[in-house]
Amino acid sequence: MKFEKLLFLIFIVSLFVTCKEGRPDKEIALKQPPNILFIAVDDLNTMLGSLDGPAKTPNMDKLAAMGVSFTDAHCQAPLCGPSRASLMTGLRPSTTGIYGMVPDDMIRSENPETTDILMLPEYFKQHGYHTMGIGKLFHMHAPEGMFDDSGGRVKGFGPLPKERFVWDGFGASDRKKYGKTSTDWGAFPEADSLMPDHQSVNWAIERLNKKQNKPFFMGVGFLRVHVPLYVPQKWFDLYPLDSIATMPYKPDDLNDVPAVAKMINDLPMMPSTDWAIENGEWRKIIQAYLACISFVDYEIGRLLEALEQSEHANNTVIVLWSDHGYRLGEKSTFAKHALWDVATRVPLIFAAPELPKGKKIDQPAELLSVYPTLLELADLPAYKRNEGKSLVPAMMGNDQDPSYAITTFGMNNHAIKSKRYRYIQYEDGSEEFYDHQNDANEFTNLVGQQKYQQEIEKLKSLLPKENALWDKNSMYTFQPYFVEQKKRVNGL
């Protein structure tokens, strides 16, 4: 009997040694809860090299090769404040009424839907994570006390030259009705080290090099590509003006869209496409935008390299996302602020040890899914309040159901993107419908054509059933339409 016990003990020991020698450190590390590196890039559209765009983005392309890219991902609001509030709460704007900007500390204030919500970093903190964050993660930085270790955020979108280079921030707008924007473009300052994003990465690298006693959640929020489109000259040099192609544009493009769409698109504080053409600035604006993308890509590369060289390299889940798209002359202007595709489509990349490498998924996806997806990748319990669905089944090839993405801009204005079509319905019932298979630029509104009515009805059935009133602390004063809508629907 003793001999049998001895043989059994030898067998167990040999099995342990064999497993240890036969499995790489990466797999052993997965026994520990994975860290989360949460990368947010402001105003970044889908011009990345890995998405077949013209931007030189070797580091984001490398990240895409490490994991899974969603090529048709969309924000829940084409404006940074409500988009980020939606992602961080896991709730749709139509559920919370957060349709405009909201101070970070007031996301939960006086709002019955968000009063007791656990925001994304908090959920990880409650499950034993050490949370860290720097830069623009929520609208400003983060609510007070959100992170165990906060690097804050440099105010504004500087550094700024003494005088603007091209655009005064008001354009042709009535200064009593519209706010001044940061819109401007040109080479400034002289060195990357003067940019807040560079300093944010330094902060993050310092912490990646530290020994961590707990799994960590680290959020790094980049200010660029948000206007002003200022980065050092070397990034402009990557894009000679004569190599830049402008965007598809029709001067009469908005003739077939509803009146509400035109009111929402009333953005005289931004450069119009016609102005950019007449003044020879169109290629220069695109050049500046591309330069900003390449600068951010370089900083993301520094961050990824530090992670790769750290002890956390083999046990970290990475997600990269942008809060909304950005128009560079499409639909008559240079801005986000719309329910059309170029304003809502965003990069969305996940990389994790167990995920496929270099995979692209062209089904629609929502930023609302970031919260539940990270929970599943970290093997944490699902949060029942999340309104988005985890994208892990789709990334692993186990989700065969058709997917849709819903974007909301103001109360009861929604866009729904299916794989082929985009349907938009505004608060007054007016509509737009586009067939991306034949019209990727959304030039022709097909809503009146009988052959599409069945598809329109199908997408219309997916519209949010609830349209909350405007949150008391949420507003957007740059466009008269939203000021008027809030007053009207809330009875102010």
Measure CA of the first residue to CA of the last residue in the chain; give whole Å: 86
Kindly report the backbone phi and psi dihedral angles of residue 12, in degrees, each rounded to the nearest multiple of 5, phi listed first: -65, -45
CA 42 – CA 146 distance, rounded (Å): 20
Task: Select which of 74, 130, 139, 414 is catalytic.
Answer: 139
pLDDT digits (tens, 9 = 90+) for 343-367: 999 999 999 999 999 999 999 999 9
Q: 379 and 373 in contact (C-beta within 8 Å)? A: no
**411: CB partners within 8 A, 6+ apart:** 94, 97, 99, 427, 467, 468, 469, 470, 485, 486, 489
The three-class DSSP label of residue 363 is strand
CA 188 – CA 28 distance, rounded (Å): 47
In 3D space, the residue among 142, 155, 152 whose CA is nearest the CA of residue 87 turns out to be: 142
What type of residue is 418? S
Tokens for 163, please give them. Answer: 């005088």
What integer pLDDT is reported at residue 31 of this predicted model?
A: 61
**448: CB partners within 8 A, 6+ apart:** none
pLDDT reading at 21 higher than 60: no
Q: 171 and 144 in contact (C-beta within 8 Å)? A: no
What type of residue is 273? T
CA 53 – CA 73 distance, rounded (Å): 15
Kindly report the backbone phi and psi dihedral angles of residue 397, in degrees, each rounded to the nearest multiple of 5, phi listed first: 80, 20
What integer pLDDT is reported at residue 2 of this predicted model?
A: 45
The angle subtended at Cα 99 by Cα 119 and Cα 442, nearest 5°, is 115
In 3D space, the residue among 118, 298, 310, 146 whose CA is nearest the CA of residue 222 turns out to be: 298
Q: Which residues pair with 425 in a beta bridge?
A: 414, 431
* Residue listed under structure tokens 């219309």: 460
pLDDT digits (tens, 9 = 90+) for 192-243: 999 999 999 999 999 999 988 999 999 999 999 999 999 999 999 999 999 9
Q: 468 and 95 in contact (C-beta within 8 Å)? A: yes
Q: Is 139 a catalytic residue?
A: yes
Kindly report the backbone phi and psi dihedral angles of residue 336, in degrees, each rounded to the nearest multiple of 5, phi listed first: -90, -105
What integer pLDDT is reported at residue 401 of this predicted model?
A: 85
> How do strand 431-435 and strand 421-425 relate by DSSP bridges?
antiparallel
What type of residue is 456? I
- CA 39 vs. chain centroid, Å, equals 9
The model's confidence at residue 490, banded by pLDDT at 50, 70 and 90, is: very high
Domain boundaries, given as residue ranges, for the chain: 32-489
Q: 179 and 167 in contact (C-beta within 8 Å)? A: no
Q: 166 and 185 in contact (C-beta within 8 Å)? A: yes
pLDDT reading at 9 higher than 90: no
Average of per-residue pLDDT across 133-150 = 97
In 3D space, the residue among 391, 336, 387, 380 whose CA is nearest the CA of residue 85 turns out to be: 387
pLDDT reading at 410 higher than 60: yes
CA 95 – CA 112 distance, rounded (Å): 10
pTM over 0.85: yes
CA 108 – CA 91 distance, rounded (Å): 12
DSSP 333: B
Q: Is 75 a catalytic residue?
A: no
Whole-number percent of the chain with pLDDT over 70? 94
Length of the chain: 492
Q: Which CATH code is given to the segment(s) 32-489? A: 3.40.720.10
In 3D space, the residue among 305, 146, 167 whose CA is nearest the CA of residue 228 turns out to be: 167
Task: Select which of 74, 75, 80, 130 is catalytic.
Answer: 80
pLDDT digits (tens, 9 = 90+) for 27-72: 444 468 999 999 999 999 999 999 999 999 999 999 999 999 999 9
Tokens for 279, please give them. Answer: 């003044």
> How do strand 316-322 and strand 348-351 relate by DSSP bridges?
antiparallel
CA 45 – CA 48 distance, rounded (Å): 8
CA 143 – CA 111 distance, rounded (Å): 15
In 3D space, the residue among 381, 377, 385 whose CA is nearest the CA of residue 90 turns out to be: 385
**469: CB partners within 8 A, 6+ apart:** 97, 411, 489, 490
